[in-house]
Structure formats: C-alpha cells, structure tokens
Amino acid sequence: MTGYFVTATGTDIGKTYVSAALLRHWRREQRAIAALKPIMSGFDPNDVPGSDAGQLLLAMDAPMDIQGLNLISPWRFQAPLSPDMAAAREGKSIPYDKLVDTCRAVAGMMPEDGRLIIEGVGGVFVPLDDRHTVMDWMRDAAMPILLVAGSYLGTISHTLSALAAMQSRGLKPHAVILNESPVSPVPIAETAATLVRHWPGLAIHALKRNATADEVAGLAAAL
C-alpha cells in the first residue's frame, strides 16, 4: 500500500485540491483507493458536496450519503474554528487515540497496490485537543507526508517555518507540493528554486491551478 498524509503550511492552501487530484488519477489507473478527512470544522451539513470530504468522495466516485460521510469524516463540526475550539462549541472533543487507530485501521485494510490519502486539517500545528496538534497526528500515523504550500506572497517564509517545525519534531516531508495560488507574485518555478536554495535537498513539485490529467499524472509519478 502506498499512502500519504497530506498537510499544509496553513488553512485554505489546497490540501483537498491536491488530494482529490491524486485520487482521480489513481482511479483512472483502476487502483484500489481510499481517503480519510477524519476531522472537519466549518462543516455545513446542507452542502456536503462542497465540503472537503465531499470533494474527496466525488474524486473517488463514492456515494455521497451519510454512511460514506461517516466513514471518510467521522468528526465533523460546524464552527469554522480550530478543531479543539469547534468541538468544544458542540460540547464534544476529539478522541485522539481513536483518531490514530482509525487511520491505522484503514491503512491496514488496503491491498498491496492500493493508494490511500489521509488529509489533515489546517496547518502542521493546528490543535486537536488540549495536548495534541496535527504534528502529533502525523508522527503517530507514520505515513509519508506531503506538505502542500501556496505560491502567494509570503509562502516562502511560511513553508520554511513549517519545514523547521517538522524537523524539530523529527519529521521530514516526503515532498513539498507547491499548489498555485490565485495570485502569485512570481512564476511558481522561482518560488520553488528559492525554497530549494534555503532548504537543500528538498523534494519539491508544482501543481498548476486547473491542472490537466497529464500534469497530475506527472506529479503522481514523481512522488
């Protein structure tokens, strides 16, 4: 089984866009695919297709019903806040051990040639409860990490900060994916080159907005 934990340098950077693009590619290859977006905040139950989990279900051509939603995203909260705060607004909390066990269980059920995406929430240090952040989740999930970054002004600092934070916890991304932002001050290749100069040896790939199937196939092959 090949699986990736998809995280990002912040919120609304493009985790779901990258995850859905890879899932569609693997589906075209007729591989067994699965995805988890275990935690969602800012979830609107009246717009399931527009949610992150809904987009992943669409990418997999999976049923958009309550059973499918519960499987892919068991912890859903309506407030657009960090997961710990959003859960607290509803008198709930996220059971961290169960979260990790759920990810491991799905990974363990995948066939050898299958592909799995686990999509995190927000950036690398988003709090999940009073003790754990996404950083802890990535460590305990023990899967190759894809760090999604943007190409907006400020992304170089944000990306290097995320890399340094991960390094401080003994984590290293399998690759950084530069997801083209709506407004990019320089060509995305220049941003990539600058990041590599400041972080030698960094595996970095670019994904354009509205990427073609061939462009996504190239990304998948490079991972």
Active site residue ranges: 37
> What is the number of alpha carbons within 13 Å of residue 173 lying toward its C-beta?
27
Cα gap 126→63, rounded to integer Å? 30
- Which helix (H) or strand (E) is 3 found in, with range? strand 2-8
d(CA 46, CA 56): 17
Interstrand relation of 33-36 and 2-8 (parallel, antiparallel or unpaired): unpaired
CA distance 15 to 178: 11
